[in-house]
Amino acid sequence: MSLKYDFTGKVALITGSSSGIGAATAQLFSKSGANVVVTGRNADAVAKVAKQCTDVSPKQLTALEVVGDLTNEEDCNRLIETTVQTFGKIDILVNNAGAGFLSSIDDTDYMEKFSLIMKTNLNSMVYMTHKCVPYLAKTRGNVINISSIAAKKYFYILSAYCTSKAGVDMFTKCMAAELGPKHHIRVNAILPGYVETNFTNSYELPKEIIDQSIVEMGAKYPVGRIGQSQDIANTVAYLASDTAAGFLTGTCLIADGGDIAANV
């Protein structure tokens, strides 16, 4: 039996929603009656997902398309301003935009990659939350940050990525403690395990190695498979629901198919 959520009248802004987890999340919110904002750097990809959102919306609500780079503060400001101008408010902020690069500490370009990862995975999340607080306070809304089990365990030559996600988890806890009493805003994080998306397929590895790793990881996971974008979208919807998760804040919810428990 599938759970059904009702986000009618809500406005959900999902960063990094032109593909993968973000796209699946935007579509689920649309299917559940929300007005959604689809954003990413590729205009064609944004338009494609926005159409999919409109198609599954019970009332055929038009998804808002905003093309921009979340590492650019001007683009962040434009994203928020356009959302409020269009829908009048923000109820749910999903900080999903992310990047990852394979890099060893002694690589000559390590600091360049480290800086870009921190700007994308952590700084943009902090900035978007900072700028959205006035609007979320008015709606007693909530924030869901997409972290990773990389915040909890070591991954080979992914130190920058792991560090950024550990920062996401601590930022989530700090914001929950600060924004709850002050503005009645809930803040939670989700820590996915291995999820098959364009993101996890982008580590500059040959396709055959990626395909092999999917099979091998799935066999090791206690649930018998790796994750799909919809798995994480379902978790986002749960945390966003005041009815289902109204008592949850400051939670870093692990959705990893048993990865950490089984020491995969």
Q: Is residue 222, in this structure, part of any structural domain at all?
A: no
Domain that residue 83 falls in? 11-197+230-254
CATH assignment of the domain containing 115: 3.40.50.720
Q: Is residue 219, in this structure, part of any structural domain at all?
A: no
Q: Is residue 214, in this structure, part of any structural domain at all?
A: no
Q: Is residue 178, in this structure, part of any structural domain at all?
A: yes
Q: Is residue 213, in this structure, part of any structural domain at all?
A: no
Q: Which residues contact 50 (CB under 8 A, 6 or more apart)?
A: 38, 62, 63, 64, 65
161 belongs to the catalytic site: yes
Handedness of CA 165, 146, 120, 193 (dihedral sign): positive
- Residue 149: count of CB within 10 angstroms of its CB: 20
Residues 175 and 142: beta-carbon distance below 8 Å = no
Residue pLDDT tens, the chain, 264 long: 356 899 999 999 999 999 999 999 999 999 999 999 999 999 999 999 999 999 999 999 999 999 999 999 999 999 999 999 999 999 999 999 999 888 999 999 999 999 999 999 999 999 999 999 999 999 999 999 999 999 999 989 999 999 999 999 999 999 999 999 999 999 999 999 999 876 555 555 667 777 787 888 889 999 999 999 999 999 999 999 999 999 999 999 999 999 999 998
Q: Is residue 116, in this structure, part of any structural domain at all?
A: yes
Active-site residue identified among 161, 194, 221, 238: 161
> Rg of the Cα trace of the chain?
18
Q: Is residue 3, in this structure, part of any structural domain at all?
A: no
- As a whole number of angstroms, the longest Cα–Cα distance in the chain is 54
Residues 191 and 152: beta-carbon distance below 8 Å = yes
Q: What is the pLDDT of residue 3?
A: 67
Q: Is residue 2, in this structure, part of any structural domain at all?
A: no
d(CA 193, CA 221): 10
Query: What is the number of structural domains in the chain?
Result: 1
